[in-house]
Amino acid sequence: MTKADIVNEISKSTGVEKAQVQQIVESFMESIKDSLTANKNVYLRGFGSFIVKRRAEKVARNISKNTTITIPAHNIPAFKPAKSFAGKVKTHTK
């Protein structure tokens, strides 16, 4: 499902114009990005959490040049689904 599909579904179910729904979805995603960039987690009860994870420094290999490189510690965004959400996905079959 793409962002356009999400906008279409919300527009259909609410009766709100697609352009307005698109703006709301864009604002929602921008708010999440801004929060994670500021190192603040986003918690949506019943859905899940958008969190910032810290990756430790590690040593890796560049196999094309046969050299060792050090990857510095860094933050990455991650999503952790709520238990109820994960349970629904886990038990759902086609």
Identify the CATH number of the domain in which residue 54 sits.
4.10.520.10
Q: What percent of the chain has pLDDT over 70?
A: 98
**Does 76 score more than 90 pLDDT?**
yes
Secondary structure element (H or E) that encloses residue 81, with its range: strand 74-81
Task: Kindly report the number of other CB atoms within 10 A of residue 51's CB atom.
Answer: 15
At 94 the pLDDT is: 65
One domain for residues 22 and 52? no
> What's the maximum distance between 2 C-alpha atoms anywhere in the chain?
58
What pTM was computed for the model? 0.78
Q: How far apart are CA 74 and CA 93, in angstroms?
A: 37
One domain for residues 8 and 34? yes
Tokens of 34: 């801004």
**Does 52 score more than 80 pLDDT?**
yes
Mean pLDDT of 41-64: 95
At 92 the pLDDT is: 77
Q: How far apart are CA 55 and CA 71, in angstroms?
A: 10
Q: Are 80 and 91 in contact (CB under 8 A)?
A: no
**Does 20 score more than 80 pLDDT?**
yes
Q: Which domain holds residue 28?
A: 1-40
